[in-house]
Amino acid sequence: MCGIVGYLGEKDTKEILLSGLKELEYRGYDSAGIAVLQDGNFNSYKAVGKLVNLEEKTKDFVTDKFAAGIGHTRWATHGKPTELNAHPHVGQSSYVVHNGIIENYATLKKELTSEGVKFLSQTDTEVIVHQFEKNLKKSDSAFEAFTKTVSELEGAYAILLVTKSEDKTIFFAKNGSPMLVGINEENEKYFASSDTPLIGRCSDVNYFEDGDYGFVTKNQLAIFNKKNAKVEPKFTKLSTNKLSAQKDGHRFFMEKEIYEQSTVISDTLLGRLRDSQVLFDEIESSLFDGINEIKLCACGTSYHSALSASYMFERYAKIKTSVEVASEFRYREPVMTQDTLFVVISQSGETADTLETLKMAKRNNLKTLVICNVDNSSMVRLADASILTRAGVEKGVASTKAFATQVTVFWMLSLYVAKLKNSLADAEIARQIKLLRQVPASVKVTDDRHERIKRLSKRYLHGHGFFFIGRDVFFPLALEGALKLKEISYLHAEGYPSGEMKHGPIALADPELFTIALLPQHLLYEKAKSNVEELSARDSTICVISPIVFDKADDFIQTGNHEDYMLEFFEMMVVVQLLSLEISVRLGNDVDMPRNLAKSVTVE
Ligand code: AGP
């Protein structure tokens, strides 16, 4: 998730921009840059890696006059983390920074290139500044050109643009990606992607709505809405607690990351869905030439998303799929054939066991793909191809949005391969794509739902253990729910296939054994229901999560009526994530930094 800052005023613009970017470091990034327009001249600096590299580059740059400045930390989605791909992006006499994804950038870029525009980067963002300058040539003002440019963009964006012809102005536009503007008594204007860079600088802020655009000058803040009507700013008081601001007001990063799954999954989907086709512009379809099997390899939560993927690859793409725990796979002298596509899954891209299996596959000349959340990580650099999950930085050690975006990518990839192998009719692919578009809504957390789980969690603080049970693709979700609970509550939990309980574990059934049963309406409901009834008959304490009321449960969390089990999957995923969080809170544990755990296990 990129970070944006902007400043218009007479103070030290460079210091304000750099300190603002520092406040956004928690969002994660792999490059950064600033551009300052003062006295009619631009100075711009960009650096890969940490902000200290940018500070080093700008140490002799002085900003002691009225200036318009913009800054950016980049979390790569299109194009590798390089200086050329870092923002701000430049045209002839303008600079732009952008957070989000311009879905129609390829079309715009093709047209601009045909008109002789030279692109320096691989990013989608660069089209904005060139499109603006193209419009500037035909407009009566920079604002008219900016307005036309914004109207031509599709996708999600938070944009700041400065241009030489209006050197005391910053233009802005917001749609789908967050951005706010702050003012103070000194008539300064501050922009940022989130609160923290503005805390201590200004007191009144306006959070832009989707479709808002406009400009600021020393004495003006002009906002226009998506109907092109001028609107008055809606100022609110800025919070003063930086850590709380970094958590968007939530108690924990994990809680924030559960709540932002809806937003980040929208990013994961952006630019990849057409009516009856999935597009991944970062891979070639030839990756699947000669492939008869997919082998997925990962650890922990990423292993659970890989298990979920195996059901979808076999069901939709009709391709033989196997799943391996990386720490096991690397030592069991596996047979590896070259008609196998080796896929590693990793949020960090640095997990030692998973990385080693990727090296094994490379040594055996298998084609390799990594599904990862961190561009330029070891696995991304090593694999033949990579698909980024675009979850933004995940700070909670217990993974949530990384898992959600991994499963989303796999659902899309299974349809992508189904199209290649002609294993699904276009109509079915189109139906599934309509379902994919509903995922962001299915993971939204409602206050009522969260409150119910918070209340219910008080009953699950003891006992001699938990079973999370599910069938088919809900079995990996059961494993994931159990892992979440273990990780942050330190209570013992197992994920188990519902149908396996009668082969031994049911001997544990008694009122102190807590079973969390996933009962989707659209996948093997009757079978799973009878498994739960077997446990209920033996007096196990049962919490059923289902759209269908289940009167033999001790606790019941009713989920929505969806048209497909995969949407039930995502909604139930949020329930088990919140349940583990609220149990952990009641036990007084450190939700974000659980004992004995590290966010990325880079050792064996
Ligand atoms: C997930 O909640 C855990 N923190 C852990 O299992 C994690 O998924 C595992 O270490 C793999 O990490 P990776 O996805 O970065 O490779």
Q: Looking at ligand 1, which atom is closest to the CA of residue 351?
A: 16
Give the dihedral sign, CA 344/349/352/356: positive
Pocket test for ligand 1, best of 601, 602, 603 (most atoms within 8 A of CB): 601
Tokens representing 91 are 């045209």
pLDDT value, residue 75: 80
Average pLDDT of the chain, as a whole number: 94
Where are the chain's structural domains? Answer: 3-245, 255-442, 445-586
pLDDT value, residue 594: 86
Residue 545 pLDDT grade (very low, low, confident, very high; cuts 50, 70, 90): very high
How many helices, marked H, and strands, marked E, lie in the chain? 19, 27
CB 21 within 8 A of CB 5: yes
CA dist., res. 149 & res. 557, Å (int): 47
**Mean pLDDT value across residues 30-37:** 95
- The amino acid present at 249, given as its one-letter code, is G
Nearest to 222 by CA among 273, 147, 137: 147
Pairing of strands 189-192, 3-9: antiparallel
pLDDT value, residue 392: 87
Rounded to the nearest angstrom, the distance between the alpha carbon of 402 and the centre of ligand 1 is 9
How many angstroms from the chain centroid is the CA of residue 439? Answer: 13
Tokens representing 66 are 């009225």
Rounded to the nearest angstrom, the distance between the alpha carbon of 302 and the centre of ligand 1 is 6
CA dist., res. 299 & res. 403, Å (int): 12
pLDDT at 597 over 90: no
Cα distance between the two ends of the chain: 29
pLDDT digits (tens, 9 = 90+) for 44-85: 999 999 999 999 999 999 999 999 999 999 887 667 788 999
Distances (CA, A) of 579 to 468, 471, 473, 474, 543: 12, 20, 20, 16, 11
pLDDT at 28 over 80: no
pLDDT at 384 over 80: yes
**Mean pLDDT value across residues 30-45:** 95
Residue 245 pLDDT grade (very low, low, confident, very high; cuts 50, 70, 90): confident
Q: Looking at ligand 1, which atom is closest to the CA of residue 354?
A: 16
The answer to whether the 255-442 and 445-586 domains have the same CATH topology is: yes
Q: Is the minimum distance from the CB of 346 to ligand 1 under 6 angstroms?
A: yes
Strand order in the sheet with 3-9: 41-48, 31-38, 67-74, 3-9, 189-192, 180-183, 204-207, 235-237
CA R_g for the chain: 25
Q: Which residues contact 41 (CB under 8 A, 6 or more apart)?
A: none
pLDDT at 463 over 90: no
Q: Is the minimum distance from the CB of 302 to ligand 1 under 6 angstroms?
A: yes
pLDDT at 1 over 70: no
Helices (H), 115-252: 126-136, 142-151, 242-246
pLDDT digits (tens, 9 = 90+) for 344-360: 999 999 999 999 999 99
Q: What backbone phi and psi angles, to 5 degrees, belong to 374? A: -125, 110
Q: Looking at ligand 1, which atom is closest to the CA of residue 598?
A: 4
Q: What backbone phi and psi angles, to 5 degrees, belong to 162? A: -125, 145
Rounded to the nearest angstrom, the distance between the alpha carbon of 148 and the centre of ligand 1 is 45
Residues annotated as catalytic (active site), given as ranges: 2, 599
- The amino acid present at 492, given as its one-letter code, is H
Burial of 503 (0-12, 13-18, 19+ CB in 10 A): exposed
The CATH number given to 445-586 is 3.40.50.10490
Q: What backbone phi and psi angles, to 5 degrees, belong to 432? A: -65, -35
pLDDT at 223 over 80: yes
pLDDT value, residue 78: 67
pLDDT digits (tens, 9 = 90+) for 325-339: 999 999 999 999 999
Residue 554 pLDDT grade (very low, low, confident, very high; cuts 50, 70, 90): very high
CA dist., res. 251 & res. 581, Å (int): 11
Distances (CA, A) of 465 to 113, 476, 501, 505, 540: 62, 19, 14, 12, 11
- In the chain, % helix, strand, coil (3-state, to 5) comes to 40, 25, 40
255-442 belongs to which CATH class? alpha beta
Q: Looking at ligand 1, which atom is closest to the CA of residue 300?
A: 6
Tokens representing 545 are 């999560």
Pocket test for ligand 1, best of 296, 399, 483 (most atoms within 8 A of CB): 399
Nearest to 251 by CA among 584, 600, 505, 546: 584
Q: What backbone phi and psi angles, to 5 degrees, belong to 496? A: -145, 145
Give the dihedral sign, CA 11/13/14/17: positive
pLDDT value, residue 248: 84
Q: Is the minimum distance from the CB of 300 to ligand 1 under 6 angstroms?
A: yes
Between 29 and 229, residue with greater pLDDT: 229
**Mean pLDDT value across residues 290-300:** 97
- Percentage of the chain surpassing pLDDT 70? 100
pLDDT value, residue 603: 72
Rounded to the nearest angstrom, the distance between the alpha carbon of 347 and the centre of ligand 1 is 7
Give the dihedral sign, CA 472/473/475/478: negative
Angle at the Cα of 484 from the Cα atoms of 505 and 392, rounded to 5 degrees:
150
pLDDT value, residue 244: 73
Q: Is the minimum distance from the CB of 351 to ligand 1 under 6 angstroms?
A: yes
**Mean pLDDT value across residues 180-194:** 94
Rounded to the nearest angstrom, the distance between the alpha carbon of 35 and the centre of ligand 1 is 37
Classify domain 3-245 at the CATH superfamily level: Aminohydrolase, N-terminal nucleophile (Ntn) domain (3.60.20.10)
Does 178 sit behind a cis peptide bond, omega within 30 degrees of 0 on the bond before it?
A: no
Distances (CA, A) of 398 to 186, 341, 410, 482, 591: 44, 29, 20, 12, 8
Residue 249 pLDDT grade (very low, low, confident, very high; cuts 50, 70, 90): confident
pLDDT value, residue 238: 83
Reported residue count of the chain is 604
pLDDT digits (tens, 9 = 90+) for 504-530: 998 998 888 899 999 999 999 999 999
Q: Whose CA is nearest to atom 5 of ligand 1?
A: 300
Burial of 339 (0-12, 13-18, 19+ CB in 10 A): exposed
Q: How many CA atoms lie within 13 A of 152 on its CB side?
A: 20
Nearest to 25 by CA among 194, 170, 186, 164: 194
**Mean pLDDT value across residues 402-430:** 97
Q: Is the minimum distance from the CB of 354 to ligand 1 under 6 angstroms?
A: yes
pLDDT digits (tens, 9 = 90+) for 95-118: 999 998 899 999 999 999 999 999
pLDDT at 186 over 70: yes
pLDDT at 5 over 90: yes
Task: Give the SS3 label for residue 233.
Answer: coil
Residue 538 pLDDT grade (very low, low, confident, very high; cuts 50, 70, 90): confident
